[in-house]
């Protein structure tokens, strides 16, 4: 190789090295498998399940520095059932998240499949998070859980404010769902986080012709007192032609050493269009997480559901008759990589 070609090759190598230093791609995932048990007045169920603490997943995320304070980013996640090796949603491989975006001093815009602002309030302000028998989401504490865009909206445009507003933040989303009436979602959340306190309020509209659309209001907060964290949640959903609901929860977590102890009490009430109670469930939960390392944890949770007004809620595959109680338990291991 002559000197000119060698110099050119070295220059290109240096350029490529500099360009790659401005970009990064991370492969990550969660494997969460548990032994689950559910009991009801009609039938009980024992199972090896998945997602008792976190949803099992395989993900890729990346970012590129475009200069001038502008960055491009992407994230794709495949949800899986770690107990069977099957996809969590056969209809879509990247069934958890799939978006690309741009971020700068003005905030961030993301395009694709993403969590709705209403769901993020639920997931953030529950000591148990959104997974497991003791989690508020399992209780159907809000009618929006039954909507097509219950947790995630597809074909969504999402805007996040920058982290330079003195602890204040906002999140606005609109999804087109390719013109289909059912499954569209628009929502907005505002929040504050500073010191020991954090709180968010979200309003969302789920477009569903079957029930004349659904308006949902969700508010959550948490406060840290040393090793103890107290969480509160309230949710209300109203539709034109279908049932309405409201739910509330108080939960707490006490952390010491490598152990977290959790407890919660929640109630959801379903009402007919005429305002009559047609389903009430009171759920109490207890749980623990023991961290073996930064990546691996053992966990367990118990839940008791007291049904009335025609409700027949159960967990972990059990079946109970209306107005009959139900119970459930998870004991599992979660590994993050």
Q: What is the mean pLDDT of the chain?
A: 91
How would you label 127-151 residue by residue, b for 16+ Cβ within 10 Å and e otherwise? bbbbbbbbbbbbbbbbbbbbbbbbb
d(CA 142, CA 247): 6
- The more confident residue out of 116 and 9 is 116
Which tokens in the block code for residue 227? 């090793």
Instruction: Output the domain CATH number for residue 326.
Output: 2.40.160.10
pLDDT, tens digit (0-9, with 9 covering 90-100), for 227-242? 999 999 999 999 888 8
Which tokens in the block code for residue 71? 């960055």
Which of 22-26, 65-69, 255-259 shows the lowest mean pLDDT across its residues? 22-26
pLDDT at 8 over 90: no
The answer to whether position 166 is within a domain reads yes
d(CA 327, CA 216): 28
Judge whether 131 and 53 are in contact, CB under 8 Å. yes
pLDDT at 7 over 60: no
d(CA 139, CA 287): 16
Backbone phi and psi for residue 95, each to the nearest 5 degrees, phi listed first: -85, -10
Helix runs in the chain, H state only: 3-21, 117-124
pLDDT, tens digit (0-9, with 9 covering 90-100), for 265-317? 999 999 998 889 999 999 999 999 999 999 999 999 999 999 999 999 999 99
The answer to whether position 168 is within a domain reads yes
d(CA 54, CA 79): 11
Whole-number pLDDT of residue 194: 96
- The more confident residue out of 142 and 318 is 318
The answer to whether position 45 is within a domain reads yes
Whole-number pLDDT of residue 98: 98
The answer to whether position 331 is within a domain reads yes
pLDDT, tens digit (0-9, with 9 covering 90-100), for 183-241? 899 999 999 999 999 999 999 999 988 888 999 999 999 999 999 999 999 999 998 88
d(CA 234, CA 14): 56
Reduced to 3 DSSP states, what percent helix, strand and coil does the chain have, rounded to the nearest 5? 10, 60, 30
d(CA 121, CA 318): 28
The answer to whether position 6 is within a domain reads no
CA dihedral 330, 220, 142, 203 (to 10 degrees): -140
The answer to whether position 177 is within a domain reads yes
Judge whether 35 and 48 are in contact, CB under 8 Å. yes
Quick count: other Cβ atoms within 10 Å of Cβ 116? 29
The answer to whether position 106 is within a domain reads yes
Task: Print the domain residue range for 162.
Answer: 25-336
* Residue 91 pLDDT class (50, 70, 90 cuts): confident
Q: How many domains does the chain have?
A: 1
d(CA 323, CA 311): 6
Q: Find where tokens 């029930």 sit.
A: 211
pLDDT, tens digit (0-9, with 9 covering 90-100), for 49-81? 999 999 999 999 999 999 999 999 999 999 999
The answer to whether position 9 is within a domain reads no
Backbone phi and psi for residue 149, each to the nearest 5 degrees, phi listed first: -100, 45
Specify the pTM: 0.89
């Amino acid at each position: 190789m002559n000197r000119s070609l060698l110099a050119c090759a070295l220059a290109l190598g240096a350029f490529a090295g500099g360009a790659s230093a401005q970009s990064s791609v991370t492969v990550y995932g969660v494997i969460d498998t548990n032994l689950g048990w559910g009991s009801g007045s009609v039938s009980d169920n024992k199972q090896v399940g998945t997602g008792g603490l976190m949803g099992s997943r395989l993900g890729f995320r990346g970012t590129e520095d475009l200069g001038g304070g502008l960055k491009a980013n992407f994230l794709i996640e495949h949800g899986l059932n770690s107990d069977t090796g099957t996809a969590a949603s056969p209809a879509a491989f990247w069934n958890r998240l799939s978006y690309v975006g741009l971020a700068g001093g003005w905030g961030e815009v993301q395009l694709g499949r993403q969590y709705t602002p209403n769901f993020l309030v639920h997931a953030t302000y529950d000591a148990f998070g959104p997974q497991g028998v003791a989690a508020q989401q399992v209780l159907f504490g809000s009618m929006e859980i039954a909507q097509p865009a219950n947790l995630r909206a597809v074909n969504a445009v999402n805007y996040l404010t920058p982290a330079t507003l003195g602890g204040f933040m906002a999140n606005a989303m609109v999804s087109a769902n390719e013109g289909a009436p059912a499954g569209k979602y628009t929502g907005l959340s505002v929040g504050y986080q500073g010191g020991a306190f954090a709180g968010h309020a979200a309003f969302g509209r789920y477009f569903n012709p079957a029930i004349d659309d659904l308006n949902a209001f969700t508010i959550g907060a948490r406060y840290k007192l040393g090793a103890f964290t107290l969480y509160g949640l309230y949710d209300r959903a109203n539709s034109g032609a279908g049932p309405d609901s409201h739910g509330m929860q108080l939960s707490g977590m006490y952390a010491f050493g490598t152990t977290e102890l959790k407890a919660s009490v929640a109630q959801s009430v379903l009402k007919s269009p005429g305002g009559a109670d047609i389903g009430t469930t009171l759920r109490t939960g207890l749980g623990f997480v023991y961290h073996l390392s930064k990546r691996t944890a053992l966990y367990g949770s118990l839940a008791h559901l007291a049904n009335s007004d025609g409700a027949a809620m159960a967990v972990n595959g059990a079946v109970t008759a209306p107005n009959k109680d139900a119970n459930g338990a998870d004991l599992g291991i979660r590994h993050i990589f």
